[in-house]
Amino acid sequence: MPETGTTALVLGAGGLTGTGWEVGVLHGLAEAGVDLSTASVVIGSSAGSAVGADLLSGGESLAGLYERQLADPPPGRPAGRLGPATLLRYTAAVLASRTPEAYGRRLGRLALAARTPVGEAARREMIAARLLHHEWPGRPLRVTAVDAATGELHTFDKDSGVPLVDAVTASCAIPGVWPAATAQGRTWIDGGLHSTANAHLAAGYERVVVVAPSASGNKVIHSPRAQAARLRDAGARVAVITPDAAARRAFGRNPLDPARRVPAARAGRAQAAAHARAVAAVWAQ
User: Cα angle vertex 131, ends 163, 40, to 5°?
Assistant: 70
What is the average per-residue pLDDT within 26-42? 97
Q: In whole angstroms, give the CA distance from residue 268 to residue 254.
A: 17
Q: In whole angstroms, give the CA distance from residue 157 to residue 148.
A: 19
As a dihedral over the C-alpha atoms of residue 32, residue 201, residue 195, residue 105, rounded to 10 degrees, the angle is 150
List pLDDT tens digits, range 225-249: 999 999 999 999 999 999 999 999 9
Active site residues: 46, 190
DSSP-derived 3-state class of residue 19 = helix
Region for 9 from its dihedrals, namely left if φ exceeds 0, alpha if ψ lies in -120 to 50, beta otherwise: beta
Q: For residue 3, what pLDDT band results from cuts at 50, 70 and 90?
A: very low
What is the identity of the amino acid at 149?
A
* pLDDT score recorded for residue 82: 80
DSSP-derived 3-state class of residue 146 = strand
List pLDDT tens digits, range 123-167: 999 999 999 999 999 999 999 999 999 999 999 999 999 999 999
Residue 246: enclosing H or E segment and its boundaries? helix 245-251
Contact 8, 56 (CB under 8 A): no
Q: Give the global pTM.
A: 0.95
Strands 141-147 and 153-156, by their bridges, are: antiparallel
* pLDDT score recorded for residue 1: 40
Where are the domains positioned within the chain? 7-79+115-283
